[in-house]
Amino acid sequence: MKDIVDLYSRMIIAVLGFVAPAITLLIGIFTDGIDKHRKRNVEKVKHLDNLMLQSHKKIKGQNKDSRNTVLETFKKHNLQKLKAQRDINLLSPKRQVIRIFGSLILSVIMILVYYILRLPNFKSDLWLFKSLSLGCSLFLFGYSVFCLWQIFCIIIDLKAIESREYFNSLPLEEKGREDE
């Protein structure tokens, strides 16, 4: 068990020292795409808010069938709004750095607590606290890996959008040349 925890703690340090900074630096490369995508999502949220407000006004004085259809569209708009708001949050570099590095540092702290509780000075009946600190560390590490995965997926999406926009902005003669 000791070897597994040692290997796990080294893996956390590796992610904290190399992988997380590398992926967060990738965010800086696509700042134009991030800004465009964020502006689109903010406009989309505003538009969906207006549609939801209009559909809320339509509900008054309607019969049940039309009220149900309006409520269904209201729910669809709400889901789209939540997705756009999530994308806005994912495109905030400051928020993502705090999420990733905060959870990784807390994971390291929980591993340190585990190692401190394993010292010979402490009683051996602290197995609950040892397993709790190790479990919290595993959860926080998993959360940080999930955050890194979300950022990686957003970067891939932004790169695809950027390349699509570049291709669409080319004159027709150059588009034919790139296909060959």
pLDDT digits (tens, 9 = 90+) for 137-171: 999 999 999 988 888 887 787 777 777 766 677 66
Q: What pLDDT, on a 0 to 100 scale, did the predictor assign at position 66?
A: 67
User: Under DSSP, is residue 30 helix (H, G, I), strand (E, B) or coil?
Assistant: coil
Say which residue, 174 or 121, is predicted with more confidence: 121
Helices (H), the chain: 2-14, 20-29, 31-59, 64-90, 93-117, 127-169, 172-179
Residue 121: phi and psi, rounded to 5, are -70, -25
Closest by CA to 41, choosing from 95, 81, 93, 79, is 81
Which of 16-20, 41-45, 140-144 shows the lowest mean pLDDT across its residues? 41-45
CA 151 to chain centroid: 6
pLDDT of residue 132: 93
Residue written as tokens 């070897």? 3
For residue 22, what are the contacts with CB-CB under 8 A and spacing of at least 6? none
Q: Which residue has the higher pLDDT, 95 or 143?
A: 143
Cα Rg, the chain, nearest whole Å: 24
Give the per-residue pLDDT at 172.
59
